[in-house]
Chain A
Amino acid sequence: MSVHGCAHLASFKSAKGTQSYRVLHAYFIAGITEEARKKKAQTCFCHTCCRHTSRLHACLYCVYFGCYDGKHIREHALSKKHNLAVDISYGTVFCFSCGDYVYDKELEAIAKRHRRKAAKLNGIKEQYYEWEPTNFELDLLRRNPRRKRISDNSYIGLRGLINLGNTCFMNCIVQALMHTPLLRDYFLADRNVCHFQDDPSMCLVCEMSQLFQEFYSGKSTPHIPFRLLHLVWTHARHLAGYEQQDAHEFFIATLDVLHRHCKGTNGLSSSNPHHCNCIVDQIFTGGLQSDVVCQACRGVSTTIDPFWDISLDLGPSLHLQSSTSGPNSTESMGNDIGLNEDMEPTSLLDCLERFTRPEHLGSSAKIKCNGCQSYQESTKQLTMKKLPVVASFHLKRFEHSTRFHKKISTFISFPQYLDMTPFMSSRRGKSSNSSRASDNGYTNSVSIADNKYCLFAVVNHIGTIETGHYTAYIRQHRDQWFKCDDHLITRATVQDVLDSEGYLLFYHKQILEYE
């Protein structure tokens, strides 16, 4: 009952090694080179009846191909006493003495290597292999037969959170993180190894891991996240005390502490974000490109900064916009000095469009141009260079830093599915109209699907800037939505979600790539 083949295969291997299997597999099963594939196409037929199909097998002892259905390989095996043959379609070894297919670890490793080579030939960078338990895991699974299966209608994965005194802002962020598919899979698959250099009970990553265990425990009583609050406040002391805090601020602070603890540093975040490969960076970090074009010499200065979220302004635009920059731009701007009537965004796409629009930085904000060696007027444009796996959007409904004491409650519609393609750096300079027409049908379809996102969590704020309450909607089981109001978890419809005001929006990439 293991991957050790059979006694007959074992004695064959000790006598003749794995050479014949290797050659057979390389040429006639996997086809690891162009030449091999040609040979495979030309010579794979039964030596007795000349048919191509009907489950062809290759003898491991000599050069003979025989079909299974026509019993020719069986005749060969009996007459020549060559008891081992390989199925040409999949490389599985048939033992005539055992009367069954047998599976050998060593041969499977050879087969896997060949398949990888062949896949690379076809342009497939990495293949997906299903998880298989190791011997230790197998033993563990057999000794513990109880399973917690998460069916479509299971509440496992859902859990209420007690409000510790105006901590609904924290509860909502926890709900969003607990339902981030990639993050959940990482922790539940036990991928985390603690790098915290101090007292392990102070590691936020470990606490997060523990939280996932709590959410998937199947317990129906709400969880009390007091340890989490203590940890975050210990490691992010700037989140001053008890007054109602901003969920967005808490989200960023939490990511920062997690990131630091992943790297094992307890001090300020000293690691270079571009070289970090912790789970936080892998999931949440994107790259924002900023292009500043000098109006005098047309020189472009480009910088790319990492980001964890995109904060989007609402309300009327405060800058005069110009989408084309030319020598007469100041004059044409003079003619359009009034704000366009669609300056107030009413949708997430409006906000993103405004965010990535080229902006003319006025004469009061001249930038030193390296080309001209002088201060010149310029245009600035922000675009997405690298999209994170989870794209988080923050609708700036409050302004804590300025003297804004009003909450912007205008309805901003947001979609369930979001295509970020128009906001990518690669689209810079192309007008939105040219996008579909110029792509012919033969462009790499993978790169088009690459920028599609799916909504999975929404954090809402109800009330005024002084007193309010945070709730969250999260997605579970692909298309079921639930409302999380502290300890109260109830079912919601996708329409409830899309009709809600929206403060923080979390989108997950639909197609993930191997690196």
Chain B
Amino acid sequence: MQQIPLMDEEAMTLLEAISSDELESLSQDVYTEVANGVILGLCFEVHRAVKLGILFLDESKEESEKKFEIVDEIGRDVFGQVPIKKQFECVCPNCQRNLAASRFAPHLEKCMGMGRNSSRLASKRIANSGKVDSDIDDFDDGDWNYGNDRKCKYYMLSSIFKN
């Protein structure tokens, strides 16, 4: 039998005086009481939920669940679709133009005046025409300093590992 680190001397002596049969019966009683208490607690939970009308709040119909079941077939994705190259479209939030989704990133780069090419083209245009082109109104001078801004803005630890 495992040693129980009892603090109480009196309790220790009492425990030692009990026969193992008595101890067995007592532990059985304790166990039954605890088990009954737990079951009672669960009954109260359910009873209360029914009384308040909140027991079946999250029930859903089986048919609706089947609709979203993962598909495990080779050649199909988890949605059961065959992966074919479909053309998706989107609207550029900058210029409101409609374009193919797979070409959105390069378009957005030019549209927002980011990246090396756009800046070069823009500054060339400014130099040539002498006035600012309306297309590149939001050309941000800050782009040229992006390398320095990066380090202060967020917590990269690369500086620790620089030799």
Residues on A close to B: CB < 8 A? 1-3, 52-53, 55, 87, 89-90, 92, 100-103, 132-133, 138, 141-142, 146-149, 151, 153-156, 158, 160, 162-167, 218, 220, 222, 224, 226-227, 229-230, 233-234, 237-238, 240-243, 252-253, 255-256, 268-269, 273, 288, 305-308, 310-311, 313, 318, 382, 396, 401, 482, 487-491
Taking a contact as CB atoms closer than 8 A, the residue among B40, B70, B140 that contacts A154 in the complex is B70
Taking a contact as CB atoms closer than 8 A, the residue among B60, B80, B112 that contacts A233 in the complex is B112
Per the bound structure, the CA–CA distance linking A92 and B46 in Å amounts to 13
Max chain B CB contacts within 10 Å: which of A90, A102, A158, A165?
A165
Taking a contact as CB atoms closer than 8 A, the residue among B67, B150, B154, B163 that contacts A308 in the complex is B154
* Pairwise interchain contact B52-A3, C-beta atoms closer than 8 A: yes
Which A residues touch B51, using CB under 8 A? 1, 100-103
Q: How far in angstroms is the closest Cβ of chain A from B27?
A: 15
* Pairwise interchain contact B52-A103, C-beta atoms closer than 8 A: yes
Which are the 4 A-B pairs with shortest beta-carbon distances? A241-B115, A238-B146, A165-B105, A220-B79
Q: Could you jot down 29 A-B contacts, CB within 8 Å?
A: A1-B51, A55-B40, A89-B37, A92-B48, A100-B51, A103-B52, A153-B70, A155-B71, A155-B79, A164-B102, A164-B103, A165-B106, A218-B67, A218-B68, A220-B79, A220-B81, A222-B88, A224-B104, A226-B91, A226-B108, A240-B114, A242-B115, A252-B154, A256-B153, A308-B154, A311-B157, A311-B158, A311-B161, A313-B161
Closest to A220 in B: B79
Q: How far in angstroms is the closest Cβ of chain A from B10?
A: 15
Please report the number of residue pairs spanning A and B whose Cβ atoms sit closer than 8 angstroms. 183
* Pairwise interchain contact A489-B77, C-beta atoms closer than 8 A: yes
Max chain B CB contacts within 10 Å: which of A2, A142, A154, A238?
A238
Given A238-B146, A242-B106, A308-B155, are A490 and B64 also a contact pair (CB < 8 Å)? Answer: no
Closest to A154 in B: B68
Which A residues touch B163, using CB under 8 A? 318
Which B residues touch A102, using CB under 8 A? 51
Taking a contact as CB atoms closer than 8 A, the residue among A132, A149, A227, A491 that contacts B58 in the complex is A149
* Pairwise interchain contact A155-B69, C-beta atoms closer than 8 A: yes
Q: Does B12 contact A (CB under 8 A)?
A: no
* Pairwise interchain contact A147-B60, C-beta atoms closer than 8 A: yes
Taking a contact as CB atoms closer than 8 A, the residue among B44, B57, B94 that contacts A133 in the complex is B57
Which B residues touch A53, using CB under 8 A? 33, 36
Per the bound structure, the CA–CA distance linking A487 and B153 in Å amounts to 32
Q: How far in angstroms is the closest Cβ of chain B from A343?
A: 15
Taking a contact as CB atoms closer than 8 A, the residue among A148, A156, A237 that contacts B114 in the complex is A237
Q: Does B83 contact A (CB under 8 A)?
A: yes
Given A103-B51, A162-B101, are A237 and B140 also a contact pair (CB < 8 Å)? Answer: yes
Max chain B CB contacts within 10 Å: which of A87, A101, A318?
A101
Task: Mark interface residues in B55-88 (1 if CB within 8 Å of A CB, else 0).
Answer: 0011110001101111110000111110100001
Task: Mark interface residues in B144-162 (1 if CB within 8 Å of A CB, else 0).
Answer: 0011011011111110111
* Pairwise interchain contact A489-B78, C-beta atoms closer than 8 A: yes
Per the bound structure, the CA–CA distance linking A310 and B40 in Å amounts to 49
* Pairwise interchain contact B77-A164, C-beta atoms closer than 8 A: no
* Pairwise interchain contact A153-B69, C-beta atoms closer than 8 A: yes
Per the bound structure, the CA–CA distance linking A488 and B83 in Å amounts to 7
Taking a contact as CB atoms closer than 8 A, the residue among A146, A158, A230 that contacts B78 in the complex is A158
Which A residues touch B47, using CB under 8 A? 101
* Pairwise interchain contact A237-B143, C-beta atoms closer than 8 A: yes
Which A residues touch B147, using CB under 8 A? 238
* Pairwise interchain contact A241-B109, C-beta atoms closer than 8 A: yes
Taking a contact as CB atoms closer than 8 A, the residue among A218, A229, A243, A307 that contacts B108 in the complex is A229
Q: How many residues on the B side are at the interface (Cβ–Cβ under 8 A)?
A: 68
Taking a contact as CB atoms closer than 8 A, the residue among A149, A164, A243 that contacts B60 in the complex is A149
Closest to A240 in B: B115
Interface residues of B in 16-54 (CB under 8 A from A): 33, 36-37, 40-41, 44, 47-48, 51-54
Task: Mark interface residues in B109-143 (1 if CB within 8 Å of A CB, else 0).
Answer: 10010111110000000000000000000001011
Per the bound structure, the CA–CA distance linking A100 and B51 in Å amounts to 10
Closest to A152 in B: B70
Closest to B147 in A: A238
Max chain A CB contacts within 10 Å: which of B71, B102, B142?
B102
Q: How far in angstroms is the closest Cβ of chain A from B100?
A: 9
Q: How far in angstroms is the closest Cβ of chain A from B54?
A: 7
Per the bound structure, the CA–CA distance linking A365 and B143 in Å amounts to 34
Given A163-B102, A487-B83, are A401 and B65 also a contact pair (CB < 8 Å)? Answer: no
Given A133-B57, A241-B116, are A89 and B70 also a contact pair (CB < 8 Å)? Answer: no
Per the bound structure, the CA–CA distance linking A261 and B67 in Å amounts to 37
Given A53-B33, A89-B41, are A162 and B102 also a contact pair (CB < 8 Å)? Answer: yes
Per the bound structure, the CA–CA distance linking A254 and B132 in Å amounts to 32
* Pairwise interchain contact B109-A307, C-beta atoms closer than 8 A: no
Max chain A CB contacts within 10 Å: which of B149, B157, B158?
B157
* Pairwise interchain contact A241-B104, C-beta atoms closer than 8 A: no
* Pairwise interchain contact B93-A306, C-beta atoms closer than 8 A: no
* Pairwise interchain contact A240-B143, C-beta atoms closer than 8 A: yes
* Pairwise interchain contact A167-B105, C-beta atoms closer than 8 A: yes
Q: Does B90 contact A (CB under 8 A)?
A: yes
Q: How far in angstroms is the closest Cβ of chain A from B59?
A: 7
Closest to B157 in A: A311
* Pairwise interchain contact A227-B93, C-beta atoms closer than 8 A: yes
Q: How far in angstroms is the closest Cβ of chain B from A101?
A: 6
Per the bound structure, the CA–CA distance linking A141 and B55 in Å amounts to 12
Per the bound structure, the CA–CA distance linking A165 and B53 in Å amounts to 52
Max chain A CB contacts within 10 Å: which of B64, B91, B93, B116?
B93
Per the bound structure, the CA–CA distance linking A307 and B162 in Å amounts to 18
